[in-house]
Amino acid sequence: MESCGTAVSCTPAAFLLLHLGLISSMAHQNEFQTGLAGGEVTLNCTGILPDSKLPRDTVISWVYHDTLLWRMEKSNKYWKKPTFITGRADIKMQYKQLRVWNLKLSDAGIYTCEYGPQKVRTSLHILKLTISSDGHFLQNEVPELILMQNSSSPLPDLSITLFDSNNNRVTPELQNKSRQKYVVNLKKLEAMDSGTWVCQVHSDSPLINQNISFAVKVLGFQNPDLERKYATVDSTVIFSWRLNSQIIKWKEGFTGQLNWKQQESASTHELLDFNVTAQGQLHETKKSSNFLFEIPERKPESTIEVKLPKVHFNHSGQYQCQLEYQGRHVQSKIELVVMKVSANPVGPLSRGANMTLTCQVSGPLTPNAYLRWERVNGTEMDSKNSKQHEVKLEVNISAAGLWSCHLIEDSNIKISFHYHVEEAPVWINYVIIGTSVGGSLLALVLGCLCIISGISWQRRRQRAKRMAQARQYLLENKTCQCQHWLKK
């Protein structure tokens, strides 16, 4: 790949030269050369002998159109120094080549080297490529590319082909076109489009084949535009946005902020703002005082991170990280869905009684998601699924044990809440029955109590065993939340 500013020779023109040379020994030669604005070219004085073999009385001059640029007579050389080229040109003495650097569109034209009776005319064609925002973009922006050409001969119709940083062909949208100026819109940029792009410019006559490379930097997130995160109430949640500024060696300062809103229509709360210096240093400032969150002390570089140590049901919603550069923005959102579970009545479940378990998620579910209640090691009868779009699912249960509420999306369990329903000791019921029988049966009741408390004691042992099993289960299921039960 030719880097910006390299001159490219034109073989057919050279071929044409040879041809002309054969037809007549008359010494007019025509050459064609392309240069890039900002780059440099070396124009040949084709056919000239090297300095050491050149007769001492040869007069050599370089002329731009009718303007004398440089002249050498009997070894005296001098520059005419026309202002347009001052400080941007010199002569390579060995072959008297004219070198011009920091080329401008207006340098286009005919450069003639004359020595003795010989005249070598080079038509210099200049191309200039500019990219909007100096090649610095945010994700989702569409760069504009402007290609201009200038020449003293009629301007050719250029064909433009673009290759992105992965060398994939990009079909640009030609915005506006004149022979002098082509305006093209590239595609919507993604963070991974950062790198060196190539603009291939072609024309058949005159033959131009020029690769112009240019740098594109796309500042953005390594996260997707929208992520979903699930958490159970009281668990710890960490949000993290990975910026790509280091990877792409972004050398400009920028700022940003982290906002939260519970719903699309709700008001936005600013949690923190930050800035990143041109040297890549990140400064963060906490903004919200009534929202309990922490900024983790140890985190990867170029990462914006916040930690909610004990998430509330009402902390759900959209967490949006926004970057700002020169008045332009880009954002990446993480949507937090919180799950909670409650029981009515609370407390142990008596035999033959019912209890209502309610599982609720904070946000609207995607169409492919639903809630499911099921009893661990229970039967199919012990399970219930929510209907589409239901964010709350109730079950009336009459069996104690470990109950789980799952949020299932595309057949994958996204999050589960495990709730242990204790079985109430049975003797309470018996005592109530016993007292209703009447005072005369007190002795019998007392006798029964002895027997029943024995049963109850045995039941407690079974219960302790079940609790141990449940504890084991909880340990194996790390996502689990079951404080209600563990406290018992």
Q: In the complex, which residues of this chain contact ligand NAG (CB under 6 A)?
A: 1-2, 9, 33, 44, 105-106, 108-109, 150, 152, 176, 198, 200, 209, 211, 255, 275, 283, 285, 291, 312, 314, 353-354, 356, 376-377, 394, 396, 398, 402, 469-470, 472-473
Strands 89-92 and 76-79: unpaired
Q: Which is nearer to ligand NAG, 98 or 445 (CB)?
A: 98
Neighbouring CB atoms inside 10 A of 84's CB total 13
* Shortest Å, Cβ 373 to ligand NAG: 10
Contact between residue 310 and residue 234 where contact means Cβ atoms under 8 Å apart? yes
Q: Which is nearer to ligand NAG, 67 or 366 (CB)?
A: 67
* Shortest Å, Cβ 209 to ligand NAG: 4
In sequence order, what are the residues at sequence separation of 6 or more whose Cβ sits closer than 8 angstroms to the Cβ of residue 151?
108, 109, 123, 124, 125, 126
Helices (H) and strands (E) counted in the chain, each on its own, are 4, 31
The helix/strand/coil state of 400 is coil
* Shortest Å, Cβ 475 to ligand NAG: 11
Gap between the Cα atoms of 328 and 209, Å rounded: 36
* Shortest Å, Cβ 247 to ligand NAG: 22
* Shortest Å, Cβ 384 to ligand NAG: 8
Cα 286–Cα 292–Cα 298 angle in degrees, nearest 5? 60
The helix/strand/coil state of 476 is helix
* Shortest Å, Cβ 224 to ligand NAG: 26
Which residue type is seen at 119?
A: K
Gap between the Cα atoms of 415 and 325, Å rounded: 37
Q: Which is nearer to ligand NAG, 25 or 281 (CB)?
A: 281
Contact between residue 332 and residue 242 where contact means Cβ atoms under 8 Å apart? no
Q: Which is nearer to ligand NAG, 1 or 59 (CB)?
A: 1
Which residue type is seen at 197?
A: W
Q: Which is nearer to ligand NAG, 2 or 382 (CB)?
A: 2
Which residue type is seen at 407?
A: L
* Shortest Å, Cβ 62 to ligand NAG: 14
Q: Which is nearer to ligand NAG, 2 or 409 (CB)?
A: 2
Backbone angles phi, psi at 450, to 5 degrees: -60, -50
Q: Which is nearer to ligand NAG, 50 or 224 (CB)?
A: 50
